[in-house]
């Protein structure tokens, strides 16, 4: 295995009861033998049944310079409501989901704590709509392979997992092994380095540029000033070595700056 695929694993939690030690080791053993998507889905179904959670979803995506998930490449929906997944994609909630805008590969992300810092109307709208379908509380765990600019994220809903410190530590140990499996299953081609030069805000603006939105329309959607949009558009053109706005859109799409969600049911 090349150095680009090496992911630093986390130590196993200390002080686990024997039953939980065996459970975690069994999870790691099972996910280590995953080679294709049906096997991965089977493992995730088994994992979900052993956790005190109602919903689970797993995603693999590209990282930007802030180590945020900039572009989701694969999403495996274990049992999130399909209507919510479709709404999430149609509303482009990946652009305002506070979980995705948290550095990946760090500590577990407790939703209540993260959502408490939401400031923008778009973030607050996302949080309110998620809560309305029973997705308002939960925990997310992530692992990143920085040389590949890739990260995996597993999210589970409800407060029962968050209150169980041992279980949080177990899932935090497991997520690195799950990331290996996601990389094997996705088998993605390397992305051009220039496609990862954009900041998270620039990526958001490029997303709407590529859909034909004007600077004024983008400013309205993102709730920022038109002057700020113009500033970021100029940076996008410069970073992609483009001649103008249209040229930047063409180059960006060629280099992988596509729509942020690619769901795989």
Q: Which residue ranges make up each domain of the chain?
A: 12-190, 193-257
Mean pLDDT confidence for 241-250? 86
| pLDDT above 60 for 125 | yes
| Sign, Cα dihedral of 41, 56, 171, 143 | positive
Residue of higher predicted confidence among 254 and 144: 144
| pLDDT above 90 for 154 | yes
Report the pLDDT value the prediction gives residue 4, as an integer from 0 to 100: 39
CA-based nearest residue to 100, from 44, 61, 131, 132: 61
Mean pLDDT confidence for 82-102? 90
Report the pLDDT value the prediction gives residue 41, as an integer from 0 to 100: 96
Average per-residue pLDDT for the chain = 86
Mean pLDDT confidence for 99-125? 93
Report the pLDDT value the prediction gives residue 187, as an integer from 0 to 100: 81
Most trustworthy range by pLDDT among 6-20, 147-161, 191-205: 147-161
Residue 47 pLDDT class (50, 70, 90 cuts): very high
Mean pLDDT confidence for 242-264? 68
| pLDDT above 70 for 137 | yes
Report the pLDDT value the prediction gives residue 115, as an integer from 0 to 100: 96
Residue of higher predicted confidence among 35 and 198: 35
The CATH H-level superfamily of 12-190 is Transcription factor LuxR-like, autoinducer-binding domain (3.30.450.80)
The domain 193-257 having CATH identifier 1.10.10.10: the answer here is yes
% pLDDT > 70, the chain: 89
């Amino acid at each position: 295995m090349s150095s680009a695929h090496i992911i630093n694993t986390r130590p196993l939690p200390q002080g686990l009861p024997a039953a939980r030690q065996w459970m975690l080791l069994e999870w790691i053993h099972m996910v280590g033998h995953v080679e294709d998507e049906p096997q991965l889905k089977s493992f995730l179904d088994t994992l979900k049944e052993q956790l005190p959670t109602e919903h689970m979803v797993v995603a693999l995506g590209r990282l930007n310079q802030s180590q945020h998930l900039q572009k989701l490449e694969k999403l495996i929906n274990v049992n999130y409501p399909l209507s919510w997944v479709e709404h999430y994609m149609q509303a482009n909630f990946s652009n305002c989901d506070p979980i995705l805008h948290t550095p990946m590969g760090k500590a577990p992300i407790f939703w209540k704590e993260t959502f408490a810092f939401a400031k923008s109307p778009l973030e607050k709208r996302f949080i309110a709509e998620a809560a309305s379908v029973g997705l308002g509380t939960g925990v997310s765990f992530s692992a990143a392979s920085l040389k590949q600019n890739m990260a995996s994220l597993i999210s589970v809903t409800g407060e029962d997992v968050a209150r169980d410190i041992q279980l949080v530590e177990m899932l935090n140990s497991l997520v690195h092994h799950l990331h290996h499996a996601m990389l094997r299953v996705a088998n993605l081609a390397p992305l051009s380095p220039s496609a990862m030069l954009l900041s998270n805000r620039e990526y958001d603006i490029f997303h709407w540029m590529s859909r034909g939105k004007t600077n004024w329309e983008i400013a309205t959607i993102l709730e920022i000033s038109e002057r700020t949009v113009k500033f970021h558009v100029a940076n996008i053109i410069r970073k992609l070595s483009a001649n103008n706005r249209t040229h930047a859109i063409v180059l960006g799409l060629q280099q992988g700056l596509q729509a942020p969600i690619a769901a795989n049911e």
